[in-house]
Amino acid sequence: MIYKNLFRPALFLADAESAHHRALKLGQAFCRGAAGRWLRAACDFSRPELEQQIFGLHFKNPVGLAAGFDKDCVAPDLFSALGFGFLEFGTVTPRGQSGNPRPRIFRLPADAALINRMGFPNQGLERLRERLKQARARHPRAVFGVNFGKSKTTEIDHAAADYLECLEGLGGLADFFVVNVSSPNTPELRRLQEPARLRALLLSLSSKNPENRPILVKLAPDLSPLELRQALECCLQSRIAGVVATNTTLSREGLKTITSEAGGLSGRPLFPKALQRVKEIAQITAGQIPIIGVGGISSGADAIEMMRAGASLVQVYTGLIYEGPFLIRKINQDIFLHMQREGLRHLAELRGRA
C-alpha cells in the first residue's frame, strides 16, 4: 500500500522513461550496502517446493524479470534483492543504438498497462558484457539470461549476423539466451518469425553455440494459428531449449483507455492473449519444450493460471511498475499456498493442471 499510495504517484509525476531510469539508478545504489541485505530478507520467499531444474539450470523460484526492464544490466543488485528466480537483460544489439524518438513509453493507469515503441535502445554488447561480468562476480548463483535482437539499420537478410555476434560475445557469462524476433518496434523484425527465416536463424545459432547454452525464442502474441504452428515446428526442428510467450501486442482489444499511440501493449489487457498462446504452445508441442509465460502477470493468481496453462516459468514487467517491489514475494507466496491447498508437492504437478 505504501508503494501504491506514496511511491507510485511520485514516480508517475515524471514521464515514464525518465522515471524508469531514475528508479533503476536509485534502486541499484540503495541495494549496494546494508539496505540491500534488508530488502533481500524482506522480499525473499524460499521454499524447496518452488525450486526447479529447467533446461539444465537451477531456478530457486519460477518468477523472473522480463526483458526490457533492465536493458543494459544497470541494476542487477536491485533485482537480485527483490527475490526473482532469474533475470533477463536486454534486448541488446551488437552496437549501441538510440532507439526510436522520445516520448516512446506511455502509461495507461486505468488499464494497468503500458504502450512502448522503444526500438531496442541500448548501450551495446561490450557495455552489457562488462556489467554482466561484474554482476556474475557478485551473484555467482543467480540465473542470468540475455535477450538479443537485430539492429535497426541491419537489413532483414543479414539479421543472423547480429544475433550470432551477440551469442558469441556473451559466451560464458549468460546462463541462457533469448532470440527476440517478435518486437513490433523494429522494422521488419517480426518477419524473422517466417518459417524459412526462423529455421535458418535458429540452425545458425545452434551451430555456433559451443558451450551449449540454452537458446530460447520469444514469439509474438499476434501470430495466426498457422503462423504459430509453423514457428513452433521450426523451434522443435532446431532443438531450441524453450519458448518465451509472449512479447507485446499491437492489438488494442479490451482497453478502457482511448489512445492512438503506436507501439506494443503490455500489462493486464495482454494477459488473456498471452495465456491463450501458452495453452496453444503447450498443446502443439505436447510439452516437448519448456515455456516461459509472460504478458500481463500482476498477481499470484495470474502466475498460477499461466502455469496451469503449461508454463514452467513466468516473468513480470508491467505488473512490477503498477504493483511495486514486493510483487515477486507475493506471487511466490500465493503459488506455494495454492500448492498446499491442492496437495501438490512440487511445481511440476501444477504445470498443465487445467
Q: What is the pLDDT of residues 271-319, one digit of tens each?
A: 999 999 999 999 999 989 999 999 999 999 999 999 999 999 999 999 9
Give the pLDDT confidence of 104-158 residue by residue, as tens digits: 999 999 999 999 999 999 999 999 999 999 999 999 999 999 999 999 999 999 9
Which residues, in sequence order, are bridge partners of residue 122?
97
Q: Is the pLDDT of residue 210 over 80?
A: no
Active site residues: 183
One-letter identity of residue 329: R
Look at 94 and 287; give whichever has higher pLDDT. 94
Nearest to 225 by CA among 180, 279, 189: 279
**353 has pLDDT over 80:** no
- Please report which confidence band the pLDDT of residue 354 belongs to, taking 50, 70 and 90 as the band edges: low
Q: Are 215 and 206 in contact (CB under 8 A)?
A: yes
Percent of the chain with pLDDT over 90: 90
Which secondary structure element, helix H or strand E, spans residue 106, and what is its range? strand 105-108
Strand spans (E) along 109-254: 113-116, 122-124, 144-148, 176-180, 215-219, 242-245
pTM: 0.96
Is residue 256 packed enough to be buried (19+ CB in 10 Å), middle (13-18) or exposed (0-12)?
A: exposed
Average pLDDT, the chain: 95
Q: pLDDT per residue over 148-204, tens digit each?
A: 999 999 999 999 999 999 999 998 899 999 999 999 999 899 999 999 999 999 999
What domains lie within the chain, and their CATH numbers? 2-349 (3.20.20.70)
